[in-house]
């Protein structure tokens, strides 16, 4: 019930779940030459993609309702403005009655990475090979975006999302479990998770893309933190590219609170330093030793 979703540290009423959904199979997924004649935002779903979306809607309803055991729940949708995401929403929406959907918002900041207008197939193949050598996060497509650019706008969207929650702009009844469903694209979903869970660029580079209509369920833990490990198995998380340390962090979040994150995630802090000294006296000793070594040289 919703009473479990109250963060007592700041009396913030939190959604029970935030669910990321990639769009269904599109004409571009089936044949990349489609991008050379059709603008990316107008690429449509295939019949298979529409079927995937309908199946995803049924799966989401069962997940949220506990296969019918929970009655007090509602959903709110955020959707990318691309044709394939809007069509995915229409098909998913067939699994939810009007009383269950408290709202929907088209959100441009969760759109697909901009690859640069029409995409000439042969040229894009060479460009994507270059991206693999350069690094997927920082490589910027000619006339388009890098994953870092997408990260910036998704971060802005997250700030707006928190304001929506804080000010109850979603108009959710406190007696209902609220589920936010974000229908977007593979890269946007990955950088959303990267921003939310404070993953590094190196960790992002290890992540695998979502399949068509594949979902990522972030569920609220007992201490007010969201975790992928409540709904998903270790095997799934490993398959998606999460390291053992990242999976450990997801499990910790089930029972944790934000205040203890730095103390818990020593692996995160250690990744930025060769080693950390225990006291100021140790730092002073290192400085003295360094000075002695300099004199000897």
Q: Is 171 annotated as a binding residue?
A: no
Non-local CB neighbours of 269 within 8 Å, separated by 6+ positions: 262, 276
- Structure confidence at residue 169 (pLDDT): 84
Q: Is 25 annotated as a binding residue?
A: yes
Flag the least confident range among 25-29, 36-40, 255-259: 255-259
- The answer to whether 144 touches 114, Cβ cutoff 8 Å, is yes
Residue pLDDT, tens place only, 175-221 = 899 999 999 999 999 999 999 999 999 999 999 999 999 999 999 99
> What proportion of the chain, given as a percentage, has pLDDT over 90?
64
Please identify every residue annotated as catalytic.
23, 112
Q: Mean pLDDT over residues 166-178, rounded?
A: 86
- Structure confidence at residue 279 (pLDDT): 63
Q: Is 29 annotated as a binding residue?
A: yes
Q: Is 22 annotated as a binding residue?
A: yes
Using pLDDT thresholds of 50, 70 and 90, give the confidence band for residue 9: very low
CA-based nearest residue to 82, from 194, 218, 204, 186: 186
Token pair recorded at residue 174? 């406190």
Does the pLDDT at position 3 exceed 80? Answer: no
What integer best gives the mean pLDDT of the chain?
Answer: 88
- The answer to whether 225 touches 256, Cβ cutoff 8 Å, is yes
- Structure confidence at residue 183 (pLDDT): 98
Burial class (CB in 10 A: 0-12, 13-18, 19+), 159: exposed
Q: Is 129 annotated as a binding residue?
A: no
**Structural domains in the chain?**
17-220 (3.40.50.1240)
């Amino acid at each position: 019930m919703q009473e479990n979703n109250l963060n007592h540290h700041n009396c913030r009423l939190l959604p029970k779940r935030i669910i990321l959904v990639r769009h269904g199979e599109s004409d571009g997924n089936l044949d990349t030459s489609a991008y050379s004649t059709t603008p990316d935002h107008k690429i449509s779903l295939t019949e298979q993609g529409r079927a995937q979306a309908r199946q995803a809607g049924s799966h989401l309803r069962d997940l949220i309702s506990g296969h019918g055991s929970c009655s007090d729940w509602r959903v709110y949708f955020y959707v990318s403005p691309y044709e394939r995401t809007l069509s995915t929403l229409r098909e998913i929406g067939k699994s939810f009655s009007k009383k269950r959907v408290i709202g929907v918002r088209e959100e441009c900041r969760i759109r697909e990475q901009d690859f640069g207008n029409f995409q000439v197939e042969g040229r894009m193949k060479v460009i994507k090979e270059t991206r693999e050598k350069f690094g997927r996060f920082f490589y910027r497509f000619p006339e388009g975006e890098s994953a870092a650019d997408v990260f910036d706008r998704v971060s802005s969207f997250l700030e707006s999302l928190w304001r929506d929650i804080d000010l109850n702009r979603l108009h959710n009844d406190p007696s209902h479990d609220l589920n936010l469903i974000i229908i977007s694209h593979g890269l946007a979903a990955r950088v959303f998770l990267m921003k939310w869970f404070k993953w590094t660029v190196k960790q992002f580079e290890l992540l695998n893309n979502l399949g068509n209509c594949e979902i990522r369920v972030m569920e609220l833990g007992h201490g007010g933190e969201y975790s992928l490990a409540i709904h998903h198995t270790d095997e799934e998380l490993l398959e998606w590219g999460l390291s053992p340390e990242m999976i450990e962090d997801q499990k910790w979040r089930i029972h944790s609170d934000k205040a203890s994150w730095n103390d818990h995630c020593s692996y995160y802090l250690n990744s930025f330093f060769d080693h950390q000294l225990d006291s100021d006296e140790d730092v002073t000793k290192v400085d003295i030793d360094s000075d002695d070594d300099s004199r000897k040289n």
